[in-house]
Amino acid sequence: MTDIMRLAPAEAERFTTAVLEKAGLRASDAATAARAIVEADLAGVDTHGIIRLPMYVAWLGDGRIDARAEIEVERTMPAVALLDGRGAMGHLCMTRAAEIAADAARTYGIGWVGLRNSNHAGAIGIYAARLAREGFISICGAVSAINQVAPWGGSEPLMGTNPIAFAVPGEEEAPVVFDMATTIASLGMIKKYAMEGRPMPEGWIVDREGRPMTDASRHAEGLLLPVGEHKGSGLALMIGLIAAVANGADFGRGLGEGGRPVSVGQFVLALDGRALAPGFREKVDEIVRDFGKSAPVAGGGPVRVPGVGRAEKEAERKVRGIPIGAALMHELALLADRSGVARPAYAAG
């Protein structure tokens, strides 16, 4: 077997659904969560896809995720809702939130859903991208369940990687999707380095004295650095206030205090493109094409437009399959055996 094998999307969904069902999810919930997990891999966000499946199974086993939770929705205003995940899997919470936001936007032009008592939902950009494919401008944000980022100038970890994603639909071109952690490297990327036994580049994490750390397996001892220094720190704070504090979720000191599960906060915004300037989607296409063919910097390029590479990767992986490295193949084999399901069937890369 080579170091890289390919996993067909349908097989990835089959395996992920089967494992999640064995871990206690209802069949329909397992299929919904599996679809979102595999969507991350198809988009090229390998740090937030099937690589996270062992973690989700562990959380289902120890009660951090409630496999049978009934999500509650409170409509606080016509276009605004608050969703209480009751500890459900984050992929189910965000999928439901995106559906509610879209329904409100179709009626009122805009829909906002805040979430509390949710869980890690994978790549936040997949939910924004889904809405964009339906014609909505979308913004989605989330608060990390782990504090490993200090406010700029500080040494106490009081925030997480707090990702945010924006998506804007075109008419013929793929949606423009920008999905980022507010740290230089996402925690998922750092964990991937740890799994593969690779050292991190300097500048991702520092210890409590501000010295660079490169051993990914020791990441929990350090502080993740924000992107753009004080700008990333400020953005992480604002996402925390909007995605967590405004929704009654956890943020800042005391996250998961007393051993209780962290109440993860998220939000979904959907804005119906029909409420905006006529022809804006065609204009988005023009901008994407113009930017893409603009002159690259000397010795560099190509010019990157958010969403274009994502769409190309998704098209390629739907045909060739999702690349799976040796370390992850080993982890998934162990998970299959523990769960009592058939191991994934790979094809040569």
**Hey, what's the torsion of the CAs at 41, 46, 48, 51, to 10 degrees?**
100
Average pLDDT, the chain: 95
Cα separations in angstroms, 336 against 28, 148, 264, 323: 20, 31, 28, 18
| pLDDT, average across residues 173-199 | 93
Q: Residue 108: is it exposed, middle or buried by C-beta count within 10 angstroms (0-12/13-18/19+)?
A: middle
pLDDT digits (tens, 9 = 90+) for 337-348: 999 999 999 998
Is the CB of residue 188 less than 8 Å from the CB of residue 48?
Answer: yes
| pLDDT, average across residues 67-72 | 98
Asked if residue 255 has pLDDT above 90, the reply is no
pLDDT reported for residue 126: 98
From 267, 271, 269, select the one nearest 106 (Cα to Cα): 271
pLDDT reported for residue 301: 79
Which tokens sit at 16? 């992920």
| pLDDT, average across residues 210-216 | 93
pLDDT digits (tens, 9 = 90+) for 294-348: 999 988 878 999 999 999 999 999 999 999 999 999 999 999 999 999 999 999 8
pLDDT reported for residue 232: 97
Question: pLDDT grade, residue 48 (50/70/90)?
Answer: very high
Residue 206 neighbours by CB distance under 10 Å: 17
Sheet holding 212-213, edge to edge: 212-213, 205-206, 223-224
Please enumerate in sequence order all residues whose Cβ is within 8 A of that of 292, keeping only pairs 6 or more positions apart, or say none. 302, 303, 305, 308
| pLDDT, average across residues 54-61 | 97
Candidates 1.10.1040.10, 3.60.15.10, 1.10.1530.10, 3.40.50.2020; CATH matching 1-68+309-349: 1.10.1530.10
Asked if residue 1 has pLDDT above 70, the reply is no
The 3-state DSSP class for residue 141 equals strand
pTM listed for this prediction: 0.94
Summary count for the chain: helices (H), strands (E): 10, 13
In CATH, 71-183+226-292 is 3.30.70.20: no
How is the chain split into domains, by residue range?
Answer: 1-68+309-349, 71-183+226-292
From 223, 158, 129, select the one nearest 185 (Cα to Cα): 223
| Furthest CA-CA distance within the chain | 56
For the chain, what percent of residues have pLDDT higher than 70? 99
Asked if residue 2 has pLDDT above 80, the reply is no
Cα 289 to its chain centre, rounded Å, is 27
